[in-house]
């Protein structure tokens, strides 16, 4: 309940405040989005499995964003930034789909 | 240390046992060996091969670890206020997650709107420029007509006749007369677009000139002495104005001799080949009455006549 409300509040604030994203932050936004989706799906799956832990959720999300951003930043400096950001998207994307599949199995038992 | 021990153990157990262990571990059940003193050792996770773990371990191991810690009865923080702190963590984290998603959506929307706006603006600019160009061309034609009528009303004499003749030869007046119409359409080609290139059209037009055409217009654009036929992407530009398929090329001249000599040219042969190879449209028709629009006079910016013109010998 609270969780859904908090998520909706965040989305609404982001949509209606129209904060301008600085240019240097542009390449890292997609990574943050993927990490956020990964965190949300992971959290849902964990709470369905009754092992959800808020601290793990928050810290893993923030750490994933920071680490992924740092890796891509490093790649940018070394000239392989776009490849590394593809790698981040692929790895987190596989996790998202895996977690979504687990949620589906849990809910529909199929 | 543990790795060595595991290797020894693996030497004893059968492959089936190992597979079973692996299977159990993948499902979160830990095989907990005991150390020498009989206490349960820290559960070790056999590191799966990278790709296998990528496809099987989707959940963050932190959740399992935290659940294990809780199950072991070792709370990481004092239980006073734990619930509210957990809730605060969760809400703060979710607000941040929502913010990220919302900002991303908003900025994407912004960008899309900006791109659309820029595109629409550019299209509008192009339309306006083309409209203005055609208006100016119409004004130029009507002004040229006024000049000629004024000259005529002042009394048409030899000099004016000469000017008129020069204008006709320079291609800056509209002309009428019998001739040929050639219609080419590369968009009907059966093997990919872009069969007809600018150099093909150039060759065709050169063939028309060589066959004795006195004036040529392509797609309503009159060719002058400095006209260019070029290609930009799939579009043919005549004097930087795009012409569209089917392109009609009009040439004034004696229809029959023009036809006979044109058929002999390289350009005609090339287009005949295109017809048989690619199935483009290539039509040739004699016309008794063609009207060619006036062409633009070359805009001279740096060139000027000699201060004391030499008396011309051709009169």
B104–A30: do the CB atoms touch at under 8 Å? yes
Verify whether the Cβ–Cβ distance B55 to A8 is below 8 Å.
Answer: no
H or E segment and range at residue B248:
strand B247-252
Q: Is B73 helix (H, G, I), strand (E, B) or coil?
A: coil
Would the pLDDT of B164 be above 50? yes
More confident residue, A97 or B82: A97
Mean pLDDT of B77-83: 60
Place of tokens 């670890």: B65
- What's the whole-number average pLDDT of chain A? 85
Residue of A nearest to B104 (CA): A29
Tens of pLDDT, residue by residue over B29-49, are 444 445 455 555 555 566 667
pLDDT over 90 (residue B125): yes
CB B163 within 8 A of CB B144: no
Q: What is the pLDDT of residue B123?
A: 92
Distance from CA of A100 to the nearest CA of B (A): 9
Tokens linked to B285 = 């028709």
Distance of alpha carbon B216 from alpha carbon B252, whole angstroms: 7
Q: Is B64 on the interface with A (CB under 8 A)?
A: yes
Q: Is the pTM of this model over 0.90?
A: no
CB contact under 8 Å between B99 and A10, yes or no, is: yes
pLDDT > 90? residue B132: yes
Q: Distance between CA atoms of B151 and B154, rounded to whole angstroms? A: 5
pLDDT attached to residue A1: 67
CB of A57 closer than 8 Å to CB of B90: yes
pLDDT value, residue B120? 92
Chain A contact for B66, CB < 8 A?
Answer: yes
Mutate to test the interface with B, among A8, A11, A68, A101 (most CBs of B within 10 A): A11
Q: How many CB atoms lie within 10 A of CB A44?
A: 18
- The answer to whether residue B8 scores a pLDDT higher than 50 is no
Interchain CB distance below 8 Å, A33 and B98: no
Residue of chain A nearest B109, judged by CA positions: A15
Tell me which residues of chain A, numbers 49 to 108, contact chain B at a CB-CB cutoff of 8 Å: 49, 51-62, 65, 91, 94-95, 98-99, 102
Q: How many CB pairs under 8 A join A and B?
A: 139
Chain A residues within 8 A of B59 when measuring between CB atoms: 42, 45-46, 49, 99, 102
CA of B41 vs chain A CAs: smallest distance (Å): 22
Structure tokens at B310: 């030499």
CB–CB of B95 and A57 under 8 A?
no
State yes or no: pLDDT of B3 exceeds 50.
no
- CA–CA gap between residue B23 and residue B17 (Å, rounded): 10
B179 forms beta bridges with: B252, B287
d(CA B195, CA B184): 11
Please state the φ and ψ torsions of residue B230, each to the nearest 5 degrees.
Answer: -130, 175
Among B60, B62, B98, select the one facing A11 at the smallest CB separation: B98
Size of chain A in residues: 110
pLDDT digit string (tens) for B196-242? 888 888 988 999 888 888 888 998 888 887 888 888 877 888 888 88
Question: Do the Cβ atoms of A46 and B99 come within 8 Å?
Answer: no
Distance from CA of B112 to the nearest CA of A (A): 14
Tokens found for residue B258: 């023009």
CA distance B232 to B12: 74
Question: Which pLDDT value is given to residue B193?
Answer: 55
Q: Phi and psi of B236, rounded to 5°?
A: -95, 130
């Amino acid at each position: 309940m609270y969780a859904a409300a908090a998520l909706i509040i965040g989305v609404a604030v982001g949509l209606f405040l129209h904060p301008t994203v600085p240019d240097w932050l542009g390449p890292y936004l997609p990574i943050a989005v993927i990490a956020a989706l990964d965190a949300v799906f992971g959290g849902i799956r964990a709470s369905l499995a009754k092992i959800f832990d808020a601290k793990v959720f928050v810290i893993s999300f923030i750490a994933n964003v920071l680490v992924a951003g740092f890796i891509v930043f490093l790649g940018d400096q070394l000239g392989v930034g776009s490849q590394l950001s593809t790698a981040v998207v692929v790895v987190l994307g596989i996790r998202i789909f895996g977690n979504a599949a687990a949620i589906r199995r849990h809910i529909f038992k199929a | 240390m543990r790795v060595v021990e595991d290797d020894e153990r693996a030497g004893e157990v059968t492959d089936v046992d190992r597979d079973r262990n692996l299977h159990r571990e993948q499902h979160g059940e830990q095989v907990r060996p005991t150390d020498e003193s009989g206490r349960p050792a820290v559960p070790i996770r056999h590191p799966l091969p990278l790709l296998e773990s990528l496809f099987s371990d989707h959940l963050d191991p932190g959740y399992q670890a935290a659940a294990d810690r809780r199950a072991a009865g070792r709370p990481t923080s004092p239980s006073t206020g734990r619930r509210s702190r957990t809730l605060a963590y969760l809400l703060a984290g979710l607000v941040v997650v929502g913010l990220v998603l919302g900002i991303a959506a908003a900025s994407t929307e912004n960008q899309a709107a900006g791109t659309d706006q820029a595109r629409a603006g550019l299209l509008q600019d192009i339309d306006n420029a083309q409209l203005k160009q055609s208006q100016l061309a119409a004004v130029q034609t009507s002004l040229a007509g006024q000049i000629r009528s004024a000259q005529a009303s002042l009394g048409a004499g030899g000099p004016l006749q000469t000017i008129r003749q020069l204008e006709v030869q320079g291609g800056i007046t509209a002309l009428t007369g019998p001739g040929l119409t050639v219609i080419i359409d590369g968009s009907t080609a059966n093997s990919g677009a872009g069969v007809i290139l600018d150099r093909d059209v150039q060759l065709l037009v050169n063939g028309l000139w060589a066959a004795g055409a006195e004036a040529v217009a392509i797609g309503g654009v009159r060719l002058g002495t400095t006209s260019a036929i070029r290609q930009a992407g799939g579009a043919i530009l005549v004097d930087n104005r795009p012409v569209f398929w089917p392109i009609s090329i009009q040439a004034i001249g004696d229809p029959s001799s023009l036809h006979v000599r044109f058929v002999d040219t390289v350009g005609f042969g090339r287009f005949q080949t295109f017809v048989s190879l690619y199935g483009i449209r290539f039509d040739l028709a004699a016309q008794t009455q063609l009207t060619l629009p006036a062409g633009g006079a070359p805009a001279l910016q740096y060139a000027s006549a000699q201060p004391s013109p030499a008396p011309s010998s051709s009169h």
